[in-house]
C-alpha cells in the first residue's frame, strides 16, 4: 500500500536544482525506447572502457579478500602513489597524509565546503562553471558569487579583470582547469597571479588534468601550497562508475576532514582503491591513446562547428567539451537543446546549465566516436538548413 503523507523535505532540500544534462539524457533514453536513433553529445564521461589492467587489479584484490573497510583517509599505498604522482607531474612534494581518498571528487567538494564555510560565506567562481558548484555551496549554507569569463577570450580566467578586486570579500575562490564546460586551461602566468589573490582559500578542481592538448595543466599546489585540491580517476582513467577521487588538504584540516569523512562515508571502496594504484602506477599507453583520440575529435568538431556558422573564437585546450554560442539559432538554450533532441535527434547540453553567462550557448561533449560526431554534425546542419 502506498504511504500517504503531508511530510515535506526542508526548503533547502526542495531547492536543490536538477542536473539538466541528466534530464536531457533521460529524455533521450525515452526517445530511444520509442525507437528513435539519438546521437549523444550531452554526456560528460569518457566513452572508453576502463583499461583492463585496472579492472584486473580490483578483481584480484576482491578475490584475495581485500573487501573490508579501509581507514577513512584511504589506504597508505594509494596515498603514497598519489603523492609520487604529484611529484612526477608537477614537481611538488606532498605529504601522503594530506590526501583523503573519497568516493569521487563530488563528495570531496562537499567535504571541503562543509569544513571551510560558515553560513553566508562567499565562494567566488567564474560563470560558466560546472553545474554543481553553486548548488553544493548553497546547500552547505554558503553563497556562490560568480563573475563572467567570455568566449572571445577563450573563457580565460584573467586575474587582471575587474572581478579580482572583489575577491577580498570571498572566503574561497574556486578554480576548475581544464574547465567543464569551456575546455579553458589556466596557464602558468595566470596561475601565479591567481595564487596571489587576497582570499583565504583556493579550491582547485583538477579532475580533467591529463586531458589537455598542446598545453600542460598546472596544479594549484605549484603556486599555493595551502590550496585545497580536488581530483579523481573518473575522467583521465575512464573510471566514472568506480567512484574514486581525492582531496589534498592543508595540514590543519587533515584530522577534522578524516573525521567528517569517516562519519559520512566511512571510506572509499577497498578494492577500488587497489584499482586506483594500478591506474597510477601501471602502463599509461592506453591513457595516452585516449587523450590523442579526444584531440582528433576536438579538431574535427571545431572545424565542423565553424563550417556550420558557429562562433568558436578560441579552441578548447583541455577536457572533452566545447561550449559554443548558438544565439543565432535561439537565445534560449534549453528550448534549443530540446528542439535539437526532438527534431534532429542530437542530444547536447544547454549552456544555461553552467550559469547565466552561458545562456544561448550549447555544450558539445566529444567523448564519443568521430563517426557519431560526424553524424551529429550532419543532422544539425540538416536541421539548420531546414529552418
Ligand X SMILES: Cc1ncc(COP(=O)(O)O)c(C=O)c1O
Residues making contact with ligand X (CB under 6 A): 44, 104-106, 130, 176, 180, 205, 207, 232, 234, 240, 245
Yes or no: say if 261 and 245 are a contact pair by the CB < 8 Å rule.
Answer: no
* Total number of residues shown for the chain: 387
* SS3 sequence of 4-35: CCCCCCCHHHHCCCCCHHHHHHHHHHHHHHCC
Q: Which one, 304 or 367, has the nearer CB to ligand X?
A: 367
Yes or no: say if 191 and 206 are a contact pair by the CB < 8 Å rule.
Answer: no
- Phi and psi based region of residue 7 (left: phi greater than 0; alpha: psi -120 to 50; beta: remaining): beta
Q: Which one, 276 or 282, has the nearer CB to ligand X?
A: 276
Yes or no: say if 236 and 287 are a contact pair by the CB < 8 Å rule.
Answer: yes
DSSP output for 313-359: SS---BTTEEEEE-TTT-S-HHHHHHHIIIII-EE-EEGGGG-GGGT
Q: Which one, 106 or 273, has the nearer CB to ligand X?
A: 106
The CB-of-230 to ligand X minimum distance in angstroms stands at 7
The CB-of-243 to ligand X minimum distance in angstroms stands at 7
CA distance 295 to 75: 34
Q: Which one, 130 or 213, has the nearer CB to ligand X?
A: 130
Q: Where are the beta strands (DSSP E) in 47-142?
A: 99-102, 122-127
Yes or no: say if 269 and 72 are a contact pair by the CB < 8 Å rule.
Answer: no
CA distance 353 to 361: 10
The CB-of-109 to ligand X minimum distance in angstroms stands at 7
Q: Which residues pair with 176 in a beta bridge?
A: 205
CA dihedral 133, 136, 140, 143 (to 10 degrees): 40
Q: Which one, 205 or 330, has the nearer CB to ligand X?
A: 205
Q: Which one, 128 or 345, has the nearer CB to ligand X?
A: 128
Q: Which one, 107 or 142, has the nearer CB to ligand X?
A: 107
Residue with nearest beta carbon to ligand X? 104
Q: Which one, 44 or 51, has the nearer CB to ligand X?
A: 44
Sign of CA dihedral 19, 24, 27, 29: negative
The CB-of-21 to ligand X minimum distance in angstroms stands at 9
Q: Which one, 104 or 318, has the nearer CB to ligand X?
A: 104
The CB-of-353 to ligand X minimum distance in angstroms stands at 11
The CB-of-374 to ligand X minimum distance in angstroms stands at 25
The CB-of-18 to ligand X minimum distance in angstroms stands at 15
The CB-of-64 to ligand X minimum distance in angstroms stands at 26
Burial class from Cβ neighbours inside 10 Å (0-12, 13-18, 19+) for residue 17 reads exposed
The CB-of-139 to ligand X minimum distance in angstroms stands at 15
Please state, as a whole number, how many other Cβ atoms lie within 10 Å of the Cβ of residue 122. Answer: 18
Amino acid at each position: 500500500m502506498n504511504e500517504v503523507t503531508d511530510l515535506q523535505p526542508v526548503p533547502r532540500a526542495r531547492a536543490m536544482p536538477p542536473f539538466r544534462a541528466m534530464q536531457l539524457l533521460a529524455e533521450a533514453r525515452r526517445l530511444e525506447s520509442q525507437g528513435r536513433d539519438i546521437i549523444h553529445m550531452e554526456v560528460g564521461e569518457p566513452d572508453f572502457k576502463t583499461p583492463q589492467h585496472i579492472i584486473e587489479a580490483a578483481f584480484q584484490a576482491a578475490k584475495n579478500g581485500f573487501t573490508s573497510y579501509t581507514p577513512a583517509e584511504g589506504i597508505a599505498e594509494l596515498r603514497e602513489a598519489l603523492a609520487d604522482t604529484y611529484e612526477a607531474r608537477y614537481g611538488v612534494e606532498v605529504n601522503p597524509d594530506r590526501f583523503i581518498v573519497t568516493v569521487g571528487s563530488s563528495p570531496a567538494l562537499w567535504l571541503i565546503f562543509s569544513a571551510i564555510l560558515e553560513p553566508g560565506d562567499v565562494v567566488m567562481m567564474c560563470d560558466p562553471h560546472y553545474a554543481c558548484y553553486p548548488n553544493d555551496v548553497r546547500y552547505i549554507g554558503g553563497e556562490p558569487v560568480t563573475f563572467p569569463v567570455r568566449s572571445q577570450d577563450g573563457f580565460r580566467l584573467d586575474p587582471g579583470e575587474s572581478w579580482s578586486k572583489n575577491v577580498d570579500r570571498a572566503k574561497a575562490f574556486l578554480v576548475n582547469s581544464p574547465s567543464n564546460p569551456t575546455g579553458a586551461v589556466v596557464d602558468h602566468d595566470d596561475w601565479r597571479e591567481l595564487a596571489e589573490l587576497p582570499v583565504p582559500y583556493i579550491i582547485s578542481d583538477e579532475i580533467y588534468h591529463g586531458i589537455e592538448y598542446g598545453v600542460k595543466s598546472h596544479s594549484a599546489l605549484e603556486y599555493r601550497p595551502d590550496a585545497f585540491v580536488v581530483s579523481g580517476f573518473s575522467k583521465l582513467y575512464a573510471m566514472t562508475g568506480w567512484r574514486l577521487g581525492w582531496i589534498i588538504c592543508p595540514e590543519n584540516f587533515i584530522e577534522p576532514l578524516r573525521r567528517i569523512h569517516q562519519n559520512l562515508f566511512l571510506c572509499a571502496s577497498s578494492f577500488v582503491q587497489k584499482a586506483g594504484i594500478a591506474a597510477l602506477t601501471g602502463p599509461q599507453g592506453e591513457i595516452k591513446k585516449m587523450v590523442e583520440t579526444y584531440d582528433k575529435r576536438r579538431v574535427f568538431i571545431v572545424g565542423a562547428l565553424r563550417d556550420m556558422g558557429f562562433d568558436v573564437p578560441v579552441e578548447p585546450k583541455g577536457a572533452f567539451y566545447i561550449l559554443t554560442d548558438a544565439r543565432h539559432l535561439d537565445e534560449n538554450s534549453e528550448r534549443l537543446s530540446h528542439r535539437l533532441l526532438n527534431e534532429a535527434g542530437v542530444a547536447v547540453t544547454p549552456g544555461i546549465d553552467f550559469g547565466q553567462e552561458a545562456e544561448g550557448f550549447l555544450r558539445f561533449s566529444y567523448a564519443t566516436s568521430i563517426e557519431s560526431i560526424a553524424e551529429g554534425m550532419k543532422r544539425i546542419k540538416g536541421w539548420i538548413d531546414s529552418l
